[in-house]
Amino acid sequence: MAIMRPMKLAGSELLFGQGCLEHVKALKGTRAMIVISGGSLKRNGILDKVQAYLKEGGIESEVFEGVEPDPSFATVMKGAKAMLAYQPDLIVALGGGSAMDAAKGMWIYYEHPELKELADIMPPNSFPTLRNKAKMVCIPSTSGTASEVSRSIVITDDKKIKHGLGNMEMMPDIAICDPEVTASMPKKITAETGMDALTHAAEAYLSRRANYVSDTLAAQAVKDVFQYLPKAYEEGANLDYREKMLNASMVAGLAFTNVSLGIVHSMAHTLGSYFGLAHGLLNAVILPYIIEYNSADPAAKKRYDELAASVGETDFAAAVRNLNAKMDIPTSIQSLVPDKAAYEAVIDGMAEMALADGCTKTNPIIPDVAGFAQLFRTIYQG
Ligand SMILES: [Fe+2]
């Protein structure tokens, strides 16, 4: 099978493993704007460490703090303004998916102050060229989103609608994946982001665009998540488990950013928009149902059976449910959205949104609006 869509595996530098944070010393630049969410990376000393390494490398730095979960366009513009004042030649995103996505967004509007609106970078407008002013460095503090090796961002607009944007220009130049940076993640975040990584791997493996390289990466990520996520969840201070999870998340990211995802993500994006629930948690709950739904396609069923066999199981949906149960993840949406009437009232709107989501077109089976509505009911009731 010829691959006609060029694969791009990370930016120009990809570092991983315990201690690779030290590579920050070797970065080339004069001024770095570090983008973080909140105080946890200050309290655990990681921010200090990054700033000390930058200083050692002769790079001065400033911190932009205050990226919220599900970052808003207002935060993106605020950060871009801070960058326009500071004129960094390096942007260092230090944090989870929100900090990294926001920093990638700020980068665009810093490079192009003539752009003012989110719509300015969305189709039919062409995507602007980056790297005229700064290079992007991502240092993930969670193991799941893989924004450090992805071309995409999710930004929430003024009307609280989440927009997923993807363009290869946004692939970070440098990804530094040091497990120490993830070691203080709380259990709940470990579980939810870890299940996001598993969903990336499983959906990439089942993608209509899956290929030899993406399969190799995704299959390994599935095996490692099954083996090491429960361990990292129980024993978060163990850097070997953290390293396995961060590497698994990263290679799942290399796969999915090239071959895209499926309707677990379409439905999770939609539910996240409507009910403000965490992305990884939604993926974890939805994934087993979609494995069952997609298994109506014999070729997809065969692929799930391969994944199940690789983790010593026969039923992949059941294996995912067991993994969820080990981490106290609920079995249906009901407990997350207790108001059933409110949920029922928006099902048609959610079905339309999920159908239009960019992840839908690579799913093995593509539901219509009624099909999505049925799926939203199924995942609710359990
Ligand atoms: Fe995801």
What pLDDT, in 10s, does the model give residues 85-119?
999 999 999 999 999 999 999 999 999 999 999 99
- Write phi, then psi, for 287 (nearest 5 degrees): -50, -50
Residue pair 289/375 in contact (Cβ under 8 Å)? The answer is: yes
Gap from CA of 119 to ligand 1 centroid (Å): 23
Gap from CA of 69 to ligand 1 centroid (Å): 14
Gap from CA of 43 to ligand 1 centroid (Å): 27
Gap from CA of 263 to ligand 1 centroid (Å): 11
Gap from CA of 352 to ligand 1 centroid (Å): 20
Which residues of the chain register pLDDT less than 70? none
The contacts of residue 355 (CB under 8 Å, 6+ apart) are 266, 367, 368, 369, 372
Gap from CA of 145 to ligand 1 centroid (Å): 6
Q: Residue by residue, what is the 3-state secondary structure of the chain? A: CCCCCCCCCCCCEEEECCCHHHHHHHCCCCEEEEEECCCHHHHCCHHHHHHHHHHHCCCEEEEEECCCCCCEHHHHHHHHHHHHHHCCCEEEEEECHHHHHHHHHHHHHHHCCCCCCHHHHCCCCCCCCCCCCCEEEEEECCCCCCHHHCCEEEEECCCCCEEEEECHHHCCCEEEECHHHHCCCCHHHHHHHHHHHHHHHHHHHHCCCCCHHHHHHHHHHHHHHHHHHHHHHHCCCCHHHHHHHHHHHHHHHHHHHHHCCCHHHHHHHHHHHHHCCCHHHHHHHHHHHHHHHHCCCHHHHHHHHHHHHHCCCCCHHHHHHHHHHHCCCCCCCCCCCCCHHHHHHCHHHHHHHHHHCCCHHHCCCCCCHHHHHHHHHHHHHC
Gap from CA of 265 to ligand 1 centroid (Å): 6
Q: What is the pLDDT of residue 162?
A: 85
Q: What is the pLDDT of residue 213?
A: 97
Q: What is the pLDDT of residue 33?
A: 98
The contacts of residue 106 (CB under 8 Å, 6+ apart) are 35, 64, 76, 79, 80, 82, 83, 91
Q: Residues with Cβ within 5 Å of ion ligand 1?
A: 196
Query: pLDDT tens digits, residue range 18-48?
Result: 999 999 999 999 999 999 998 899 999 999 9
Mode of pairing for the β-strands spanning 162-166 and 152-156: antiparallel
Gap from CA of 299 to ligand 1 centroid (Å): 24
As given in the structure block, the two tokens for residue 38 are: 């909140």
